[in-house]
Amino acid sequence: MKRIAILTSGGDAPGMNAAVRAVTRKAIHEGMEVYGINYGYAGLVAGDIRKLDVPDVGDIIQRGGTCLYSARYPEFATEEGQLKGIEQLKKFGIEGLVVIGGDGSYHGALALTKRGFPAVGVPGTIDNDIPATDFTIGFDTAINTVLDAIDRIRDTATSHVRTFIIEVMGRDAGDIALWAGVAGGADDIIIPEHEFDMKQVANKIRQGRDRGKKHCLIILAEGVMSGHDFADQLAEHGDFHARVSVLGHIVRGGSPTARDRVLASKFGGYAVDLLKEGKGGLCVGILNNELVASDIVETLETKKHHPDLSLYDLNHQISF
Ligand code: ADP
Ligand code: F6P
């Protein structure tokens, strides 16, 4: 392929810019032309497409968000939207597309592939909920942001002998809560992929108090219930002076960590290698520290992401 395009879609994630930079620079290095599509699939359908040159992706590796902007654009799930998108790509002479985004964005890439247009998915979401990869771009930054919040909240929890419920993003996935919870020494981690018993949560807090423990930190994934609903249910089992802190979109922004920048650079370079060889219909990932390319149809139709539940068990053994 000689001319490719790139878009970022769905929730922005720190490191997306590093991936845009890597795709653009690697493609130019390989003698290819690169076009940037603004606002994800919305911009694709609208033809909001521009050529990217070396300076266009300068000074962005350290920035959060995405310089190509993003959008939630449900119209791309329709045949009309997809055909219009392919028409725009052909109008610009584009032969292959790199899609950086999460699960929904992958479904857009899958639709293009099924209609005969080669697309390569690059996993970019703070949620880490994509199959065929151990890690997604943005996850490492997100968990470090949550960790910073946990450490700060711990100061107040200890000073006032309070229980804190810290609600974190992750849509339907518990990875952010799980990893940040283990790193932050959380007393309990509540995730959608594992059942919990509120009575046991309350007993654990009580046992800690009886031993003279001052703080209690519970990290709650938003996919289970809201922090306020959790606090109301906990209050039925005793008065723990619980406060709720909802971190929300703070977890999605900020400068990417070194790990996310390196991961994004690897994924971006690899996506270009694949398209250069004429290979589309794939999604890239990292499994056991090896870059892999998986069939996007098979991945989305047969594979599911599962969090590392050994971390959940470990937390119960070491945090009380
Ligand atoms: P994420 O990619 O972060 O999971 P979304 O779920 O919002 O975020 O998906 C991003 C975009 O991908 C959507 O706004 C839509 O344009 C496109 N998309 C989502 N689902 C589909 C689908 N089933 N078919 C085609 N495009 C889709
Ligand atoms: O997928 C990323 C994410 O931040 C989820 O963790 C969260 O549930 C969702 O996006 C929020 O979406 P929005 O920014 O559209 O409200």
Does the annotation place 31 within a ligand binding site? Answer: no
Annotation says 127 is catalytic: yes
Within a domain: 177:
yes
* Cα Rg, the chain, nearest whole Å: 21
Q: What is the dihedral of CA 28, 30, 31, 35, to 10 degrees?
A: -40
The CB of 9 under 6 Å from ligand 1? The reply is yes
173 and 88, same domain (yes or no): no
Contact 173, 307 (CB under 8 A): yes
Catalytic residue (one of 12, 127, 129, 140): 127
Contact 67, 51 (CB under 8 A): no
> Residue 236, class by beta-carbon neighbours within 10 Å (0-12 exposed, 13-18 middle, 19+ buried)?
exposed
Structure tokens at 252: 């999605």
Does the annotation place 208 within a ligand binding site? Answer: no
**DSSP readout, 93-153?**
T--EEEEEE-HHHHHHHHHHHHTT--EEEEEB-TT---TT-S--BTHHHHHHHHHHHHHHH
109 and 190, same domain (yes or no): no
- Nearest alpha carbon, ligand 1 atom 9: 104
pLDDT of residue 109: 97
What is the count of structural domains for the chain?
2
63 and 148, same domain (yes or no): no
264 and 125, same domain (yes or no): yes
The CB of 171 under 6 Å from ligand 2? The reply is yes
Q: What is the pLDDT along the chain (320 residues), one digit of tens a residue?
A: 899 999 999 999 999 999 999 999 999 999 999 999 999 999 999 999 999 999 999 999 999 999 999 999 999 999 999 999 999 999 999 999 999 999 999 999 999 999 999 999 999 999 999 999 999 999 999 999 999 999 999 999 999 999 999 999 999 999 999 999 999 999 999 999 999 999 999 999 999 999 999 999 999 999 999 999 999 999 999 988 899 999 999 999 999 999 999 999 999 999 999 999 999 999 999 999 999 999 999 999 999 999 999 999 999 999 98
pTM, 2 dp = 0.97
Within a domain: 50:
yes
User: 125: domain range?
Assistant: 3-138+256-302
pLDDT of residue 91: 98
Contact 186, 165 (CB under 8 A): no
From 316, 277, 283, select the one nearest 178 (Cα to Cα): 316
